[in-house]
Structure formats: C-alpha cells, structure tokens
A and B are shown apart, each in its own frame.
Chain A
C-alpha cells in the first residue's frame, strides 16, 4: 500500500464536496483504470461521481495520462471530467 494525494476538479469536486483527499491505495490498484473502479466501490456518492458516463480523466506530474497508466510511483493524481476551456 502507498499513500497518494488525489485532486478533484469541476463537477467531480462539487459531487464529492472536496477538492483533495489523501488515500491509502489498496493492493491490486495499479493503474488509473483500477483507481477509477476502486473509487466507484467506495460508497454511493463516489459511485455516482465516478460512473463510466462521467468519463473521468487523470493527470500525473502535470501531464494527461491514459487509463492504463501506472499509478504506483505517483505522489499526486488529479482526477477531472473532460476539459471545456477555450
């Protein structure tokens, strides 16, 4: 297990009622996809916020990462809905 700081933005931040959280990553959670499915299982609020249709994306070290990216060496992971700037 290792400790990670999760950052939440926009509609995800509002749905969870927090902008960040420090969590212990359970064994077997190795990729971004694992992390997202684990969030879905935490409780009903997280399940709703992270449901597949929300298309939650991740960034590590200020870079977008794909769902198969490894999170085992990450200290901080940002999670957010698709961006809508411009």
Chain B
C-alpha cells in the first residue's frame, strides 16, 4: 500500500519494479495511467493546472486503498497523483494493483480509479491556446459508473 501526491513526473516501469519487490507471490499487475489530453471538444489545450487539498487528499487516498484491500485480496497497491502545472501529454495519475490472480487486480484498479475521480480532493483547470481557461466540471458519467 502506497500513495504519493507529488509535483514531479513518475516512471511507470520504475514503480512496477518497486511494486514487485513487495511480494514474491504476485501473479498479475494491472496499471492505469491518466494523461493530459491535447484537446477538449475541439479546443487545443495549452496547459492544465491541478490544485489539491494538502492533508485531506492523502487521507482520502489512504481510505480508498484501505477499502480496496478489504474488498479484494491484493499483494500491493500504488497510487501516484501529480499536482501543479502540466502540459498536454504529461502523466497525471497512475494506479497499479498487484494480486495472485488477474480478476482481483483488474477489479480493484477500476474501483480505485473510480473513487479517486469521485472523492480525492483534486481540481483541474484547463487553459486553451485561444487564451481561454476554465475549471473542469465534474463528469456525470463518473458518478453513474459508481452507481453500478
């Protein structure tokens, strides 16, 4: 179990190597990486700013990891989420789950990402090449996904 809220970039391969060191009985690792898109509704993105709530964000990520650990048998989890100014193509978030079998790793990674999007206290502001900028609305589809 590990989570990091950080400004700097991360290396997925390096994180996976660290994850595998945590247990000698890992049969499956699922990773998700979220990146800054190049455009939104046809508008070219120039920059994304990510704000977070120090203290609470970490507490919420820990709660999400604890819930996932209770629901699935997992050998290891890592969540990394960046904040600050990011450019199109930059990595924003990574979730990796490791378990003996693939089902637990797949399901737990989806549960973790859905809950990070719904509960972790991060806010995105998008700036566009035409000079406009706006805070991102929460997406109705993520809420619906959690109702399944």
**Residue positions of A touching B, CB distance < 8 A:** 7, 9-11, 13-14, 59, 62-64, 78, 80-86
Known: A9-B123, A80-B123, A81-B123. A86 touches B117 (CB 8 A): yes
In the complex, the answer to whether A86 meets B92 with C-beta atoms within 8 Å is yes
Chain B: how many interface residues by the 8 Å CB criterion? Answer: 29
In the complex, the answer to whether B56 meets A85 with C-beta atoms within 8 Å is no
Please, could you name 26 A-B residue pairs with CB atoms under 8 Å apart, sorted by A?
Answer: A7-B53, A10-B51, A10-B123, A11-B123, A11-B135, A13-B51, A14-B135, A78-B56, A80-B53, A81-B138, A83-B119, A84-B117, A84-B122, A84-B124, A84-B135, A84-B136, A84-B137, A84-B139, A85-B50, A85-B52, A85-B116, A85-B117, A85-B120, A86-B93, A86-B113, A86-B120
Known: A11-B123, A62-B56, A78-B56. A85 touches B93 (CB 8 A): yes
The chain B residue with its CB closest to the CB of A64 is B119
Known: A10-B125, A86-B120. A81 touches B93 (CB 8 A): no
Residues of B with C-beta under 8 A to A86: 34, 81, 92-93, 113, 116-117, 120, 122, 142
For the complex, give the distance between the alpha carbons of A80 and B121 in Å. 9
The chain A residue with its CB closest to the CB of B92 is A86
The 4 closest A-B pairs by CB, nearest first: A85-B122, A10-B123, A86-B117, A82-B138
Residues of B with C-beta under 8 A to A80: 53, 121, 123
In the complex, the answer to whether B121 meets A9 with C-beta atoms within 8 Å is yes
B141 nearest CB across to chain A (Å): 12
For the complex, give the distance between the alpha carbons of A83 and B34 in Å. 16
From A9, A82, A84, give the contact of B53 (CB < 8 A). Answer: A9
From B50, B59, B116, B117, give the contact of A63 (CB < 8 A). Answer: B59
In the complex, the answer to whether A9 meets B119 with C-beta atoms within 8 Å is no
For the complex, give the distance between the alpha carbons of A83 and B125 in Å. 11
Interface string of B23-35 (1 = CB under 8 A from A): 0000000000010
From A14, A59, A78, A83, give the contact of B138 (CB < 8 A). Answer: A83
A23 nearest CB across to chain B (Å): 19
From B55, B59, B123, give the contact of A83 (CB < 8 A). Answer: B123
In the complex, the answer to whether A84 meets B123 with C-beta atoms within 8 Å is yes
A62 nearest CB across to chain B (Å): 4
